[in-house]
Amino acid sequence: MTAKNRCPVCDCKNTSRVLNYQTYQLWECNVCSLQFMSPFPTEQQLDKTYQEHYFATDKQGAYGYRNYANMQKQLQQEAQTKLAFLHEFVPKGVMLDVGAGTGVFITLAKKFGYDIWANDISKFACDKLAQREVRVIRGSLSKITLPKNKFDIVTAWDVFEHIPQINKTVKNIASSLKPGGILALTTPDTNSLDAKIFGHHWYGYKKIPEHLIFFNQSSINKLLEKSDLEILETKPWGFVRSVGFLLDRMVVFSPIFRPIRSIMEKIGFAKLTVYLPLTDFMIIAKKR
Ligand SMILES: [Zn+2]
């Protein structure tokens, strides 16, 4: 066992290899059950991943979002649902959105009346965020220090799974929250129903090496506890996608689905959208 296979959350060496994925290895911590890729990509590789093409690529199978701009409508729907939910916990105040991307969420959050700060590591994303007239902090939260006791709420949508130095990042976020402040996040859940059904073919793993670490209730609890954050609520969280998109994914899993895909296309059902509370969970935690 080498140092590179230490659990990034508990820092223990009690880990086992669970999967080889392309040229990567996925390990699991036997204590907190976090799954993590080994080795992690270098800073330079990560920088390269999150440039413009990450947000605007049409290449099948490329990293990032297939035409991020075309997904705007779905992202806006998701942002609306999240804000309606968060409003119950924090009706107003100063909000930091971590991994804000091109700013679909913060634009809507501004309309809800929050005073917005946005963070991203991507220069492309930060340039877009600056146009939305919010305060922008560029850089990795494992390196730059956030202002202390500043925020009423910090959001991190689909971000934690991308972060190699997760303990440092969460400590930074926790110290930036006011006492009683809320951290709200979504991330893939290795105990989700689809993770159990698809096993090694699970969607979360398909995004390796963008996705570096994979949580479940036990590991996220351990991570947040270490920074004095108490989980108030956990709920399954999903996404809005077209039937065609979902069937494309299933065809990759097995060609059995190919004729079903064709029939759905012919009768026009492939364009319908559905909400599936799969893959992710949402965590709401409070700073003690
Ligand atoms: Zn662990």
Give the Å distance between the CA of 173 and the centre of ligand 1. Answer: 20
Tell me: pLDDT of 286 over 60. yes
Prediction pTM value: 0.85
Alpha helices (H) in the chain, listed in sequence order: 43-49, 52-55, 72-86, 104-111, 123-130, 166-176, 193-198, 203-206, 217-226, 243-253, 258-266
Residue 49 tokens read as 């991943």
Give the Å distance between the CA of 89 and the centre of ligand 1. Answer: 29
Cis amide linkage into residue 236, ω under 30° from 0: no
Give the Å distance between the CA of 249 and the centre of ligand 1. Answer: 31
Give the Å distance between the CA of 161 and the centre of ligand 1. Answer: 15
CATH architecture of 42-238+280-287: 3-Layer(aba) Sandwich (3.40)
- CA–CA separation, 266 vs 268, rounded Å? 5
Give the Å distance between the CA of 190 and the centre of ligand 1. Answer: 14
Per-residue pLDDT tens over the stretch 48-58: 777 766 765 44
Per-residue pLDDT tens over the stretch 86-140: 999 999 999 999 999 989 999 999 999 999 999 999 999 999 999 998 999 999 9
Mapped onto helix, strand or coil, the DSSP state of residue 50 is coil
3-class secondary structure for 33-47?
CCEEEECCCCHHHHH
Tell me: pLDDT of 59 over 50. no
- 184-208 average pLDDT score: 91
Higher pLDDT, 118 or 76: 118
Tell me: pLDDT of 155 over 70. yes
Give the Å distance between the CA of 27 and the centre of ligand 1. Answer: 10
